[in-house]
Amino acid sequence: MKTLIKKVVETFGPSGREDSIREIIKKEIEPFVDSLAVDTMGNLHAVKKGAGARVMVAAHMDEIGFVVTHIDKMGFLRISPVGGVAPVRCLYQRVLLDNGVKGVIGVEPVKNNNEIDFSKLYVDIGAKDEDEARSLAGEGRFGAFLNEMTELNDLIAAKSLDDRIGCVVAIEAARRLKKSPNEIHFVFTVQEEVGLRGARAAAFRIEPELGIALDVTGTGDTPESAKMPMKLRNGVAIKIKDSSLLVPKKVKEFFMAVAERNKIRHQPEILTFGGTDAGAINLSKSGILAGCLSIPTRYIHSVSETASLSDIEETVKLLVKILECDVKKELALE
């Protein structure tokens, strides 16, 4: 999967500007599904037909980024975040605008890092003055970070593992899934980083009987990290709760039982902050059963998000085995 991972994580696609990454995912998944469609929001729907339960598998295509708000007289771009972007993590990073212009994020002089906020940051695109900057990039341009995928022993580090790695898991599961009693809707969602927006619209349209989000989750395995049970190399994380969702007991137990039956390495996920598309799916219509399979990841919302290839593989295995089950029977929906 490494070739596919590299392709998708290095592609431009901040929230609201997912066109390029959607086209790549469309080409990758098309051979393994029966139909493809793009909805009004920009979500990509890839459906494997079936007569059983409607199962929605959601992975968001968008990444964190920024938007240009102003150009000063010296030709530097002032920016505002799109999604959860920490100013201190932006320092001196290379960036790409939606028209192909590249730049570097600089910062005005500060006494200490606690003073750094977006009012102090600017993007240097090499313009001589305001006029040249405007000819290259105007207000309203969207941008994202530039970084290549790097292998660290059996780990990978890259920008936008959140959540392009979930997209890879969905594509690979669609490839491996030969037969299912369910109707599977693989949905590659937009605008997750700015409020789970795409998943909410997609779930309303599909009305699934089960929603499964694929996303990254934090870890408790680095020096002085938050006390969380999730660790790299310990397998797929099966969500119990986060800020957007309390996973229904029977969904959590179903996922764990499938993992145990198939000897798939797994670990519990208890996240005290953040949320995923599963939270939006759960609250759609009059309520939808939803859960989440997560890939433990270090340094989330940075240009060097880091995950284990073995955890990614275990996530694919578990998703395939879940989709092979009779969901209506397993969750007593009949």
Mean pLDDT confidence for 274-292: 96
155: helix, coil or strand? strand
Confirm whether 150 is domain-assigned.
no
Tell me how far the alpha carbon of residue 217 is from its chain's centroid: 10
Confidence check: pLDDT of 148 > 90: yes
DSSP H stretches of helix in the chain: 2-9, 19-29, 130-136, 161-176, 197-206, 249-261, 277-282, 309-324, 327-330
Range of the domain at 114: 65-145
Q: Please give the average per-residue pLDDT across 192-198, as a whole number.
A: 96
* Helix boundaries (H) for 118-274: 130-136, 161-176, 197-206, 249-261
Q: Determine the pLDDT at residue 54.
A: 96
Residues 75 and 37 in one domain: no
Tell me: pLDDT of 113 over 80.
Answer: no
* pLDDT range class, residue 112, cuts 50, 70, 90: confident
Whole-angstrom Cα distance, residue 78 to residue 83?
Answer: 16
pLDDT tens string 39-90? 999 999 999 999 899 999 999 999 999 999 999 999 999 999 999 999 999 9
Domain identity same for 106 and 174: no
Q: Are strands 44-48 and 35-38 parallel, antiparallel or unpaired?
A: antiparallel
d(CA 96, CA 159): 13
Q: DSSP 3-state assignment of 116?
A: coil
Q: Give the chain's domain count.
A: 2
Cα 59 from Cα 315, distance rounded (Å): 13
Question: Who's near 43: CB < 8 A, 6+ residues apart?
Answer: 187, 188, 189, 190, 198, 199, 201, 202
Sequence-distant (6+) residues with CB within 8 A of 246 are none
**pLDDT confidence band for 115 (50 / 70 / 90):** confident
Separate counts of helices (H) and strands (E) for the chain: 9, 17
CATH of the domain at 86: 2.40.30.40
Is the domain of 104 the same as that of 243?
no
131 and 27 together in one domain:
no
Does this model's pTM top 0.75? My answer is yes
Residue 194: count of CB within 10 angstroms of its CB:
17
- Do 33 and 59 fall into the same domain? yes
Q: Which of 140, 139, 187, 138 is nearest to 166 (CA)?
A: 187
Q: Are residues 131 and 187 in the same domain?
A: no
Asked if 260 and 164 sit in the same domain, the reply is yes
Contact 171/48 with Cβ under 8 angstroms?
A: no
Contact between residue 97 and residue 142 where contact means Cβ atoms under 8 Å apart: yes
Does residue 59 sit in the same domain as residue 166? yes
Q: What is the pLDDT of residue 110?
A: 86
Are residues 291 and 246 both part of a single domain? yes
Confidence class for position 114, pLDDT limits 50, 70, 90: confident
Closest CA to 295 of 287, 285, 306: 306
| pLDDT digit string, tens, across residues 293-317 | 999 999 999 999 999 999 999 999 9
Tens digit of each residue's pLDDT (9 = 90 or more) over 228-271: 999 999 999 999 999 999 999 999 999 999 999 999 999 999 99
Q: How many residues does the chain have?
A: 334
Q: Does residue 334 carry a pLDDT above 80?
A: no
For the annotated catalytic residues, the residue numbers are 192
Nearest to 182 by CA among 334, 11, 60, 40: 334
Mean of all residue pLDDT scores within the chain? 96
